[in-house]
Structure 1
Amino acid sequence: MKSHLNVHYFQHIAGEGFGSCYSFLKQHQAHITATEFFALPVDQPLEIEALPSVTDVDLLIIMGGTMSVNDEANFPWLKIQKRWLRRYLSMGKPAIGLCFGGQLIANALGAAVNTNQNQELGWMDVHKVKQQAVECFQLPEKFNVMHWHRETFEIPKGAIHLAENDVCRNQMYQIGRNVLGFQFHPEITPESLTLFLNDDDELESFKGKYVQSEQQLKITPKSSFHAGNLLLNRAIEYVLQDNYC
């Protein structure tokens, strides 16, 4: 990976940050900046010029969020964010979307994001989808990662469906060699999981047989985080490969 990349991330929840990939990117002397959408004034419209120039960003990482990508009435910055995304992606630049971020990329490209049949919260297995005869990001046959979502994306037109499980069919997709969208949270760390668990209102809104209890999640062993964290590091290298490696 090229050193001194300009990495920008879209953050939607206070304190969520980069998760596990921050230290990985810093090892490569990445220059990291952020747009904190949660801190924007409600009564002040966001101008697209307030976002970084697409030519100045080498890698975009879009983090999770508790809002819906469809809720543009309550979060008017979503329209501007999607416009900027379309401009950025039209240039073939590298991007990774994590949970809400994966939904946002899909939706910006015209794919629907709807309520999943079951809410999914906790550590659950994901399976690799049998690949088509094209070069794809390589996944293990099965891996265990953190999930935290009510809605899910349809696979964008022209994208490749990479991963699924019994709870949510669309767990991951790839567009070209420069975009990877995740429905799960490979970036989660013990610290960010604690932050999620401190949001009582968010926890109480999840119900169903695929929702693990707060008590279960609090005793998650540190080894559980490794598979997702390594997967995300590999994903970053993959989307940068044809651009900056």
Structure 2
Amino acid sequence: MKPHLKVHYFQHIAGEGFGSCYAYLKDMNAQITATEFFALPVDLALDIEALPHVEDVDLLIIMGGTMSVNDEANYPWLKIEKRWIRRYLSLGKPAVGLCLGGQLIANALGAAVSKNVAQELGWTTVRKINFVPEGCFQLPEQFSVMQWHSETFEIPKGAVHLAENEVCRNQMYQIGKNVLGFQFHPEITPETLALFLEDEEELALFNGGSVQSGTELKKSSKDKFIQGNQLLNKAIEYVLAKTVY
């Protein structure tokens, strides 16, 4: 690992920053920078050269968001972001995608992202896939994490399917040894969940048997967040360890 790790994250909505892994990366003396797409004017014709040079990023973390990866008409920077992701991944660099971030990596590599059979919002159990090849990222047999999505990704060509549940089959994948895509939110903290729950318009878009109420989620105990947070730290450790600089 480089002595001064340069970590860059793509943020798509206000309030959804690094979450739990910020302290973990700071303990590694990482230099952290961000692109805040939500702060850009909607009609801005963003040029790919306005983003960081891929050579200057040692680890990319792509956060979630309320938009669809397919909504390039309303969010024209999505097309540029996906081009940049393809360029970055072509160099074999490590990346972690969280919810929308996992969808963006998959879609940038040609996999479809579409409506899931049901919406997921709240704490759910996810289980690892049986017979994952040796050397892949190791997951617990099952674990509890925060979900907040209506769409889901197909597993990109050549990727390994890592996790699933009854509501959404594609919960996590691995590309090579240095890219991990999550459908769920392992980074969530009590503070970021509180910010999510302030968006009543977003909450009103969710319904169904796999959707927990805001009132219920506000009562989430602090120990609910630990398993996902630890999983994300291990994921970062894994993709960095598997990268040769």
State TM-score, norm by structure 2: 0.98
Shift of 1:15: 1.8
What's the Cα RMSD here? 1.1
Question: Counterpart of 1:116?
Answer: 116
* 2:214 is aligned with 1:231: no
Q: Where do 1:138-177 residues align within 5 Å?
A: 138-177=138-177
State the one-letter code of the partner of 2:234.
R
Matches within 5 A, 1:1-245: 2-243=2-243
- For residues 132 and 215 of structure 2, what CA distance do their matches in structure 1 show? 41
Structure 1 position 243, deviation (Å): 2.5
Equivalent-residue separation in structure 1 for 2:70 and 2:100 (angstroms): 11
Q: CA deviation at 1:244?
A: 6.3
Paired-residue identity, %: 73
Offset, 1:85:
0.5
Long gaps (5+) in structure 1: none
**CA separation in 2, counterparts of 1:208 and 1:147?**
13
Task: Tell me, in whole angstroms, the C-alpha distance in 1 between the residues paired with 2:128 and 2:229.
Answer: 17
- In the TM superposition, what is the alpha-carbon distance from 1:205 to its structure 2 partner? 0.4
Q: CA deviation at 1:3?
A: 3.8
Deviation at 1:133, TM superposition (A): 3.4
Task: Rate the CA distance shift 1:3–1:131 in 2: closer, same or farther, 3 A.
Answer: farther
CA contact (8 A) 2:43 2:76 kept: no
CA deviation string 1:209-237 (max 9, x = no partner): 00001111000000000000000000000
Shift of the alpha carbon at 1:16?
A: 1.2
Unmatched runs of 5 consecutive residues or more in structure 2: none
8 Å CA contact 1:47–1:80 kept in 2: the answer is yes
Contact 2:132 2:162 in 1 (8 A): no
Q: Displacement of 1:147 after TM fit?
A: 0.2
Q: What SS does the corresponding residue of 2:225 show, helix, strand or coil? A: helix
Equivalent-residue separation in structure 2 for 1:43 and 1:18 (angstroms): 26
Contact 2:126 2:144 in 1 (8 A): yes
Q: After superposition, what is the alpha-carbon deviation per residue over 1:178-226, rounded to whole angstroms, capped at 9, x for unaligned?
A: 1000000000000000000000000000000000011110000000000
User: How far apart, in 2, do the equivalents of 1:30 and 1:137 lie?
Assistant: 22
Contact 2:177 2:243 in 1 (8 A): no
Number of residue pairs the alignment of both structures matches: 245
**Deviation readout 1:95-142 (Å, 9 max, x if unpaired):** 000000000000000000000000000000000001343421000000
With normalisation by structure 1, the TM-score equals: 0.98
Counterpart-to-counterpart distance in 2, 1:137 and 1:194: 30
Instruction: Give the match's secondary structure for 1:243.
Output: coil
Q: In the aligned structure 2, how far is the partner of 1:77 from the partner of 1:18?
A: 20
Task: Name the CA shift for 1:72/1:215 in 2 (closer, same or farther; >3 Å).
Answer: same
Tell me, yes or no, if the aligned pair for 1:2 and 1:244 is still in contact at 8 Å.
no
Specify whether residues 97 and 162 from structure 1 end up closer, same or farther in structure 2 by C-alpha distance, changes over 3 A only: same
